[in-house]
């Protein structure tokens, strides 16, 4: 839904990443709102393992989000390179879990946890990116009691599947409402892939993968646990 550019912040003399919503998407009100929700969701969180949002705005009809530039590579690249030690796998999972715990405490569900949305710096520090599919919780004051509040989740269209099929929870695959447990499930899929190599749910088509998520029990890790480099 967007293009990402590496840019130079001439005022503060730092590199930044700028995500620009492509022209076709700016004509779609839902996608535009989703783009804005991404910025709001991430900027409302203050956590070392969540990418920092610097600015959101528009210029000459282009909508953009300026974020910190994470100098590293995606977790997907780490997995493919097979350079991660076992302790690095556990450390990365702990950092992502910490980021998600902070988001969940703020009422935010990421809904698209996957290796492509996790960046790893050379020093091993992990950053969670892309809250574009986040479902935000809004606190509304009740009319009867101004001190009492309740959370109303922003819902997607009933039955609509959102996310990345290989990492979806069963609730996502069915197009149902999701909560923090869905992110935990997706993190479990990522951890399985880091430990075993192959993904726990696979198929020739997206429909096959969705069916696997709903019906297939993954192979136990003891059967596919891959060898890791020694420390």
Contact 31, 19 (CB under 8 A): no
Could you write out the DSSP letters of every residue in 34-52?
A: HHHHHHHHHHT---TTBPP
- Residue 11: how many other CB atoms lie within 10 Å: 6
- Give every CB contact of residue 65 below 8 A, 6+ residues apart in sequence: 18, 19, 35, 38, 39, 53, 55, 56
The two counts, helices (H) then strands (E), for the chain are 8, 9
The verdict on whether 112 is a catalytic residue reads yes
Given the DSSP bridges, would you call strands 2-9 and 14-21 parallel, antiparallel or unpaired?
A: antiparallel
Residue 13: both structure tokens together: 């003399």
Catalytic option among 24, 112, 204, 208 = 112
Q: How large is the C-alpha radius of gyration of the chain?
A: 19
Question: Which residue, among 86, 104, 111, has the nearest Cα to 183 in the 3D structure?
Answer: 111
Catalytically active residues are: 112
């Amino acid at each position: 839904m967007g293009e990402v550019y590496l840019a130079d912040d001439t005022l503060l003399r730092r590199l930044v990443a700028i995500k620009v919503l492509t022209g076709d998407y700016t004509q779609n009100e839902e996608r535009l709102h989703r783009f804005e929700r991404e910025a709001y969701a991430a900027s409302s969180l203050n956590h070392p393992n969540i990418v920092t949002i610097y600015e959101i705005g528009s210029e000459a009809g282009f909508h953009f989000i300026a974020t910190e530039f994470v100098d590293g590579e995606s977790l997907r690249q780490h997995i493919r390179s097979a350079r991660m030690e076992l302790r690095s796998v556990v450390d990365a999972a702990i950092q992502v879990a910490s980021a998600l715990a902070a988001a969940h405490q703020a009422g935010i569900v990421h809904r698209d946890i996957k290796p492509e949305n996790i960046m790893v710096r050379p020093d091993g520090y992990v950053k969670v990116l892309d809250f574009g599919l986040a479902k935000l919780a809004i606190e509304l004051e009740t009319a009867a009691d101004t001190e009492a509040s309740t959370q109303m989740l922003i819902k997607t269209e009933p039955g609509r599947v959102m996310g990345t099929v290989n990492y979806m929870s069963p609730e996502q695959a069915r197009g149902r409402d999701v909560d923090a447990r869905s992110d935990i499930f997706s993190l479990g899929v990522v951890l399985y892939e880091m430990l075993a190599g192959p993904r726990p749910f696979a198929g020739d088509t997206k429909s096959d993968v969705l069916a696997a998520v709903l019906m297939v029990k993954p192979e136990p890790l003891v059967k596919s646990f891959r060898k890791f480099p020694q420390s």
